[in-house]
Amino acid sequence: MTISWFQAAILGFFACLCSNSCMAGQAVGNYTIGRPLVGGLVCGIVLGNIPLGIACGVATQLVYIALVTPGGTVAADVRAISYIGIPLAMVAISSRGLNPMGANAANMAKSLATLVGTLGSVLFYAVAFLNLVWQAFGWKDIEKGKLNNLYGVNFGWPWLSHLVFSFLPTMLMTHFGAQAVTALRTALPMDGIPMKTLFTVGAMLPCVGIAILLRQIINKALDFIPFLVGFTLAASLHLNLVAVTVISLLFAVIMYEIEMAKGSDNSGSGAQTAAANDVPVDDDEEEEDI
């Protein structure tokens, strides 16, 4: 499998749309087009092998099930994962003749996409850095009272940042990278230590993604219990995620009732205690917010 200039250019365009300072809106760009599962579909269509693309997307998505960017710090970059990593993984898997649905193909995809994604965070910072130039234009425009120019600063000029740091790198790396990945087939045999390590790491990488999520959820030792219950429901009882979610809702309702029944003097974990006289009137309405 090779990647033509035309295919590489389309991948480059999608890389622009989804990158973290995203051209298609945060929800649509970063959270939709940038997710590896969706990237797998796009790459599958572009490279003409949808099942393989989806398989790579599914595998890679696990690592990034929780891609949170607190305060604009990124450990990995979605444009590189989804539109450089996945295409290269597809080339590697098909050139090595692995079964696309097999665990080994999945581990290969995870390792490759994660490696590229981690390196790709350079692109994220490069775009953010170049955007400073357009923002400087913006401050001058405000100074002069040319407020309409702000639309250009926010929606127009950043395309240049992406042309340089999203479109070009993606196009070059997918086009030439595909040739390199194919050439590597002979250099690194499958039963050698480097490839074995690569596949083993691939199987472990999703644990990092889950651990990132846990870091947000877990504040004290007791918080591990819902996590372990959920794990046990799926691992031992083989329930699927919808079933686990439904069961968890039961516990959530109980927790909500207990919290609301407690007096307002519970200091808890030092959360904000503003609006102490906030009367719980419309319960069902709050659920919509989420």
Chain positions 30 to 69 lying near another protein, rule: CB under 8 A, are: 30-32, 35, 37-38, 40-41, 44, 50-52, 54-55, 57-58, 61-62, 65-68
The span from the first CA to the last CA of the chain, in angstroms, equals: 43
- Give the binding-site size for another protein (rule: CB under 8 A): 135
Give the Cα separation of 142 and 160 in Å (integer): 21
Q: Does 140 bind another protein (CB under 8 A)?
A: no
* Residue type at 228 in one-letter notation: L
Which of 126, 164, 172, 247 binds another protein (CB under 8 A)? It is 247
Closer by beta carbon to another protein, 6 or else 146: 146
Q: How far is CA 158 from CA 35, 81, 135, 144, 216, in A?
A: 21, 21, 10, 21, 31
Give the Cα separation of 289 and 19 in Å (integer): 27
Give the Cα separation of 213 and 210 in Å (integer): 5
Q: Which of residues 84-103 bind another protein (CB under 8 A)?
A: 96-97, 100-101, 103
Q: Which of residues 159-188 bind another protein (CB under 8 A)?
A: none
Which of 13, 125, 126, 172 binds another protein (CB under 8 A)? It is 125
Show the binding pattern over residues 104-123: x = contacts another protein (CB under 8 A), - = does not.
x--x------x---x-----
Q: Confirm if 3 and 178 have CB atoms less than 8 A apart.
A: yes
HEC profile for 189-231? CCCCHHHHHHHHHHHHHHHHHHHHHHHHHCCCHHHHHHHHHHH
Which of 187, 221, 268, 284 binds another protein (CB under 8 A)? It is 268
Show the binding pattern over residues 143-162: x = contacts another protein (CB under 8 A), - = does not.
--x-xx-xx-xxx-xx----
Q: Which of residues 198-237 bind another protein (CB under 8 A)?
A: 199-201, 203-208, 210-218, 223-236
Closer by beta carbon to another protein, 13 or else 172: 13
Q: Confirm if 91 and 43 have CB atoms less than 8 A apart.
A: no
